[in-house]
Amino acid sequence: MWLVRPAQPQDIEGIMKLAAEHCSQLSSTVPKTREGLEARIELSSNSFSGALGPDQCQRFLFVLVDSRDQQVQGVAGIDGRAGNGQPFYNYRMDALIHSSHELGVSRRVDVLYPSHALTGRTLLGAFVIAPGLCDSDAFELLSRARLVFIASHRDWFSDDMAVEIQGIQTEHGEVPFWDSLGRHFFDMDFETADRYSGMLSKTFIAELMPPNPIYVTLLSGAAQQALGQAHPATRRSVSLLQQEGFHGGSYVDIFDGGPVLEVRTSNLKTLVTCQRKSLRASDAEDGEQCLLACGQGADFRCTLAGISESLNEVIRAPLSVLHGLGCESGEDVMVAPL
């Protein structure tokens, strides 16, 4: 049985192994060092416990585990507020019209403006999953369990959400957008800059990036083609997010030029369809597959289960599901259809 729960200190080895083996294609905000991961899990634990309020740098880290052996097979995160108390930088895509009445010339020129307008939005991130599960229901469970958590703790999160999708990167690790723009100001490779952005205050971005608009025509051809494009390996994630209601806007990632998707939190499909029900045990092993979650804060657990509907806001699931979730018969749960 697949289970999504808050990350715990005993998960560190499993997370590090997963990140080391499966982050070659896609970057992630999951810390790569033991010290960084220990600090991240401690911050996550304080966030889940409620010790940190919505305006106190809440960062939640979830793991996908097999309930039989608790081996970590995936990681996913939520930042309660993008920027975590610091400006959250992106580029905003816009256009200028350059014209000369005397010459009879008028030209539309695409421009990138440095922006931190998305600061304070709830941000999804830190998504890593074992490649063998990319086409499985466990992928959807890990992605959407975060949204069920948001539905269960609505007042912890903002009214608008965003998610940065990784941009184009070649098989040799080259990032066209970064190589054409950011590298000239940061004097470091993409991987190092991306790692710093997940570890340090974002002020280093404001200190090093040019404050003026960037004319897209001055970028390399490869960078222009990559602008606003998602890495092919993110296709499944993007599809699920779009099904939830996320849509592309005018913002791109400041490092790799990947798209930033946005949504009004109340419009998320999972939040719209999620219902609170009373869970009872059943002998039947089949039923409609749904996301099923119980517990608040650090006790949150979410799985996929076949359920059957009963009267009076009651649903039934196999006893093994109740045991896996650690909940009692008659306990309230959150249910969302696949």
Same domain membership, residue 262 and residue 133 = yes
Mark whether 316 and 259 lie in a shared domain: no
Domain, as residue range, for 322: 274-337
101 domain-assigned: no
Kindly state the tokens that stand for 176: 């066209």
What is the per-residue DSSP string for 200-230?
S-THHHHHHS-SS-EEGGGS-HHHHHHTTPP
Burial (CB count <10 Å: 0-12, 13-18, 19+), residue 134: middle
Domain assignment present for residue 239? The answer is yes
How far apart CA 210 and CA 226 sit, in angstroms, is 20
pLDDT digits (tens, 9 = 90+) for 313-328: 899 999 889 999 999 9
Amino acid code (one letter) for 212:
N
What are the catalytic residues? 231
Of 200 and 9, the structure prediction assigns the larger pLDDT to 9
Cα–chain-centroid distance for residue 280? 32
Q: Residue 189 has what DSSP assignment?
A: -
Q: Do 284 and 221 sit in the same domain of this protein?
A: no
Listed in sequence order, the residues at least 6 apart from 317 whose beta carbon sits closer than 8 Å to its beta carbon are 279, 280, 281, 282, 287, 292, 305, 306, 307, 308
| Residues constituting the chain | 338
Structural domain includes residue 100: no
pLDDT of 23-59, one tens digit each?
Answer: 655 667 788 789 989 999 999 999 999 998 888 889 9
Please tell me the predicted confidence (pLDDT) of residue 81: 94
- What is the CB neighbour count within 10 angstroms for residue 61? 26
CB 12, CB 35: distance < 8 Å: no
DSSP 264-302: EGGG-HHHHH-EEEEEEEES----EEEEEEE-SGGG-EE
Question: Is the domain of 7 the same as that of 149?
Answer: yes
**CATH number of the domain encompassing residue 46:** 3.40.630.30
Mean pLDDT of the chain: 90
Task: Measure Cα distances from 103 to 96, 98, 106, 141, 187 in Å.
Answer: 18, 12, 9, 59, 41
Same domain, 191 and 204: yes
Q: Write out pLDDT tens, residues 139-155.
A: 999 999 999 999 999 99
Instruction: Out of 161-175, 247-261, 278-292, pick the least confident.
Output: 278-292
In degrees and rounded to multiples of 5, residue 138 shows phi and psi of -65, -30
Give the pLDDT mean for 178-201.
Answer: 79
Whole-number pLDDT of residue 20: 82
pLDDT at 227 over 60: yes
User: 281 φ, ψ to 5°?
Assistant: -80, 150
In a domain, 102, yes or no: no
**Is there a single domain that holds both residue 193 and residue 59?**
yes
CATH number at residue 312: 2.40.40.20
Report the range of poorest mean pLDDT among 192-206, 226-240, 256-270, 316-330.
192-206
Count: domains in the chain: 2
